[in-house]
Structure 1
Amino acid sequence: PMINYLLIGLFLNIAFPAVPAWAFVLASIALVTVLNVVGINSVAKTSNLIVGAQIVFIGVFVALSWQTLGNGQPMDLLAPLRGDGSAPGFGPLMAGAAVLCLSFLGFDAVSTLAEESRDARRDVPRAIILTTLFAGLLFTVLAYASQLVLPGSTFANADAAANEVMLKAGGQFLANFFTAAYVAGSLGSALASQAAVSRILYTMGRDRVLPQRTFGHLSPRLGTPVFAILLVSAFSLLALVIDLSTLASLISFGALVAFSAVNLAVVKTHLMDDRAQRNLKGLLCYGAVPLVGLSLTLWLWTSLSALTMVIGLCWFALGLAYLAVLTAGFRRQMCVVDFSEAG
C-alpha cells in the first residue's frame, strides 16, 4: 500500500500546493486503515465505487485523446512502438519494464481473499485470470494512447508525467478529472493491497510462522486481523520519507522474487514430484514455459538499480535467517498448510 499513499500525496500536492504532501499521506493511511478494520464488506463496496469512477475517466480520456489527435494534423500510429530516438536500444525498455512490473501486481492478491469468497474453488482462479487479461489490455491501450497524445520521454516532472499528458489531451478539465480519478484509484489499490497483506500476515500467524498470539488473532466483534492491519499501516508511514523511484524499484524486486518462485514451483510440482507429467506435453507446459518465464524475470532483475539490489538482497537475507531459526538450521520442515476441502 505504501506506494499508493506516496502517489496520493504527490498528485494532491500538485493540485493543492498549499497543503503539504505528508498531510495527504497521513489522511489516506487513516482512512484506509479504518475501512480495513471495519471489515471486508466496506472494502468491497468502496472499491466498486472507485472502479466505476475510473471506468468513466478512462472513457472520457480516450474520447478527448481521439478528438485531440483528429485535429487535422498527420498522425503516425506506429510512433509509440518505435519511440522518439532519445533512448535507443533495448536496455531502456527493459529498465522501464523492471520498474513498471509492479503495475501488474494485484491479480495475485485475489487469492488472499479465498476464505472470504462464496465459492473460492471456482471464483478465485477465474478472477485471477480475468484480472490479468483485462489489466494487461487496459494498460496497453492507455499507454499507447498517451504516447500518441504526447510523444517523447522528457517531462517537467517525471513522477507526475501523466499530468502533462492529460493537459495535452483535454486541458485543465481532464487534468483535474485525472487527479481525482487517480487519487481514487490509488485509494482503491491501497484498500485492496492492505487487505491482502494483512491477511497474509494473519495466515502466517495462524500457521505459527509468525507469533500466533499477535498475528493470528481476529477481532471477535469485527472479524478482521486488526493487529496485522495496524502493522501494515505503521510500515506505510515510510511513504513520508522514501522517494517514488526507489520505492517502485523495491516493490518490483519483491514482485520479481515472487514471479521467479512461482515459475520454479511449477517445475517442481508438475515435473519433479509428478512422474506422470513427464511426457512431451508436460515438458512443454510445465518445463519450457515456466523456464522461459523465469529467464525473462531474471533478465528484468538485471535492469534494477544497484541500490534496489542491495536493499532487496539484504531483506531477502533477513527472511532466510528467520527461516533458519524456525527450522532449527534447516533441520526440520516448516508446517504445511492443508488446502483440502476437509482441512
Structure 2
Amino acid sequence: MEAGYASSFPRVLRRFALFAIAFSVVSITTGIFVNYAYGLTTLGPAAVWLWPVAAVGQILVVLVLAELAAHMPLAGANYQWSARLVNTGFGYTVGALGLLYSAVGLPGIALVGLAPLAATVLGLDAADPLTLLVIAVAALVLAYLVNVIRVQWAARVNNLAVFAEVAGTVALSVLLLVLWATHRGATPDGGHGLGFLGTVNPGTPVADGIVGGALIGIFTLVGFEAAADMAEEAVDARRTVPRAMIVAAVVSGVLGLVALVGFTVAIPDLAAVESSPVPLAAIASFWLGPVLTDVFLVIVVFSMFALLVVAAASNSRLIFAMARDGLLPASRALRRVNAATATPVVALVVSLVVCLALLAYGTLDGAAFTILVGATALVPYLIYLLTLGGYLARRKRLRRNDAGGTAPFSLGRAALPVAGLAMLWLVVVVAALTLPEAFRAADYVVLGGLALTGLWYVAVLRRRLRDGTAGLPQADPSSGRERTLDLA
C-alpha cells in the first residue's frame, strides 16, 4: 500500500523507461521544430541564447518537483503533491489545469504539428483540412491504442524516441554545423546573430523580442514530471523517478542548446529562412537535399507521435488519480484498472474521446483552436507555480514525514533557496505569458476552464468532500495509519 492506496498497477517501469518518458514529453525535437520560427522572427538568431535561461529556470523547478516525487511517488503527480501539501480543493484546481492542458495539447500537437509534416513526407496535400484531420485522428487513436494494450508498449515507443531524437535532431544539427564550417563561403548569413542581441527584427520592441525569443525554451522545456505521473508503475519509484526527471531536464537543456546552435549557425539565408513556414526544414534542405531532409522530417514525426503516446499515458493516470479520490464525474468507472492489460482503459477512452471532440472543433474553427493551443503554453507554468507555492507554504509536512531522513532525494538546506529562485522564475514566465496583448485570448481560455472547474466544485464536489465520499485517504485514529477511500 502506498500513501493509503491499494496497489492498482504492476511495477514494470525501470530507470531508462522513466527517463525516456520524461525526455519524450519534453521532446526537444518537437519543441524546437514547432517553436523555432517564432523565436527567429521576433528576436532573430540570437534567440538561441535565451534557451539556457529557460533551461536553468526549469532545472530549478524540476529539483523541487523531484523532492516531492521522492516523498510522494503517486499517479497524478502535481495533483497529489498539491492536495497533500495544502488540501484536496487546492489539489483539485491543479489537477483540473492538468486535464485542460492535455485535452487541448494532445489534439493540438496531432493537428498543428504532426499532421502537416506527415502529409508532406507522404506526398499528400498538407493544406487540405480533411487530410490533416484523418492523419491527426489516426495518430491519436494509435497512440491511445498502444497505451490500452500495455504500458510496456508505450515505454518501448518512448525508449526508441530517445535514440531517434539524439541520433536525428542533435546529430543532424552537428552535421550542419560541420558542413557550414567547411563551406561557409556559400552562406552569407551563416552564424548571423549568435554573438550579440542586436538582431531584433525591425518594428519589434526589444522587450517583446526578448520574450518571443525566450519562448522557444519556455514552450519546450515542460512535462518532465510525466515520469512522476507513472510512479505507481515504477520499480523503486522513490529513487528512480526523481533521477529520471532531473536527468531528462538536464539532458534536454544541453542537447537542445547544441541543436539550436547547430541549426542557427547553418542558416544559409536569414531572410529566406525567416519567411519559410518550416525554417528548420529549409536549413536542412539547403545542406542535405530533399532525401535526407525527408529522413529528418520522419524523425520529427516519430518524435511527435512518441510525445502523443506518453502524454496520453500521463493524462490517463491523472484522470485515474483524481477519480480514485472521487473528484470527477463517473469516478467509479474512471478509476478502474483493467485486470488483463493493467491499464486504466476507461480513463484512456474518455481522454481519447475528449481529444477527438476538440480535434473536430479545431478542424471546424481553426482560428479558435489556435487560441486554445496557445493556452497550453501558460497552463503548465500555472501548475508549477501553484505546486511550488504549496511546497513553500507547507514544506514542514515533508520534513515531519521524513524525520528519519529516509527520502532518497532531498534538497536539504538548499531547498528554500532553490524553491525561491524557481518561484521567481515561474512568476516572471507567467507574467510574460499573460500580460502581453498577443496572449490575451489564450488567457481567457484558461479563465474559462477554471470557471467550469469552479462550477463542478460548487455544484457537486464541495458536498462530496464535506460528506467524506471524495477526497484523499483519511487517517485512522485507532491505528495511526491511512485508510483507503472506498468508492465502490
Instruction: With the length of structure 2 as denominator, give the TM-score of the two structures.
Output: 0.62
Counting only pairs closer than 5 Å after superposition, residues 257-268 of structure 1 correspond to structure 2 as: 257-268=382-393
> Which deviations, in whole Å up to 9, do the C-alpha atoms of 1:117-146 show, x marking residues without a partner?
111000000011111111112222212222
Tell me if the contact between 1:68 and 1:170 (Cα under 8 Å) persists in the aligned partners: no
Q: Which moved more, 1:331-340 or 1:61-70?
A: 331-340
2:95 matched residue in structure 1 = none
Mark the CA change 1:321 to 1:179 in structure 2 (over 3 Å): closer, same or farther: same
- Alignment partner of 1:154: what SS? helix
- Which of 441, 455, 461 aligns to 1:326? It is 461
Please state if 1:46 is matched with 2:181. no
- Which of 145, 148, 162 aligns to 1:34? It is 145
2:178 matched residue in structure 1 = 66
User: What is the distance in 1 between the residues matched to 2:281 and 2:163?
Assistant: 21
Aligned residue pair count: 338
Please state if 1:89 is matched with 2:206. yes
> Which deviations, in whole Å up to 9, do the C-alpha atoms of 1:4-29 show, x marking residues without a partner?
31211011122322472122112212
Point out where structure 1 has 5 or more consecutive residues left out of the alignment: none
- Which of 143, 146, 156 aligns to 2:263? It is 146
Tell me if the contact between 1:2 and 1:239 (Cα under 8 Å) persists in the aligned partners: yes
Please state if 1:9 is matched with 2:115. yes
RMSD: 3.3
1:131 matched residue in structure 2 = 248
Give the structure, 1 or 2, with the largest relative contact order (CA under 8 Å, sep 6 or more).
2
Instruction: With the length of structure 1 as denominator, give the TM-score of the two structures.
Output: 0.86
Counting only pairs closer than 5 Å after superposition, residues 206-221 of structure 1 correspond to structure 2 as: 206-210=324-328, 211-221=330-340
Q: Which amino acid aligns with 1:60?
A: L
Please state if 1:315 is matched with 2:449. yes
Mark the CA change 1:89 to 1:122 in structure 2 (over 3 Å): closer, same or farther: same
2:359 matched residue in structure 1 = 239
User: What is the distance in 2 between the residues matched to 1:83 and 1:101?
Assistant: 21
User: What is the distance in 1 between the residues matched to 2:344 and 2:200?
Assistant: 51
Q: Which amino acid aligns with 2:359?
A: A
Aligned-residue sequence identity (percent) comes to 19
> Which deviations, in whole Å up to 9, do the C-alpha atoms of 1:289-313 show, x marking residues without a partner?
2441342133223246121011111
Q: Which moved more, 1:79-88 or 1:332-341?
A: 332-341
User: What is the distance in 2 between the residues matched to 1:206 and 1:168?
Assistant: 53
1:189 CA drift (Å): 0.5
Q: Which amino acid aligns with 1:335?
A: G
User: What is the distance in 1 between the residues matched to 2:372 and 2:234?
Assistant: 31
- Which of 229, 234, 240 aligns to 1:117? It is 234
Q: Which moved more, 1:101-110 or 1:88-97?
A: 88-97
1:297 matched residue in structure 2 = 429
- Alignment partner of 2:276: what SS? coil
> Which deviations, in whole Å up to 9, do the C-alpha atoms of 1:226-283 show, x marking residues without a partner?
111112222222235434753442211211211211221221123799799xxx9765
User: What is the distance in 2 between the residues matched to 1:148 and 1:283?
Assistant: 39
Tell me if the contact between 2:154 and 2:309 (Cα under 8 Å) persists in the aligned partners: yes
Tell me if the contact between 2:173 and 2:258 (Cα under 8 Å) persists in the aligned partners: no
> Which deviations, in whole Å up to 9, do the C-alpha atoms of 1:22-60 show, x marking residues without a partner?
221122122112111001001111221232222221313
Mark the CA change 1:282 to 1:190 in structure 2 (over 3 Å): closer, same or farther: closer
1:221 CA drift (Å): 1.5
Mark the CA change 1:101 to 1:330 in structure 2 (over 3 Å): closer, same or farther: farther
Tell me if the contact between 2:473 and 2:483 (Cα under 8 Å) persists in the aligned partners: no
User: What is the distance in 2 between the residues matched to 1:312 and 1:205?
Assistant: 22
Counting only pairs closer than 5 Å after superposition, residues 91-106 of structure 1 correspond to structure 2 as: 91-98=208-215, 101-106=218-223
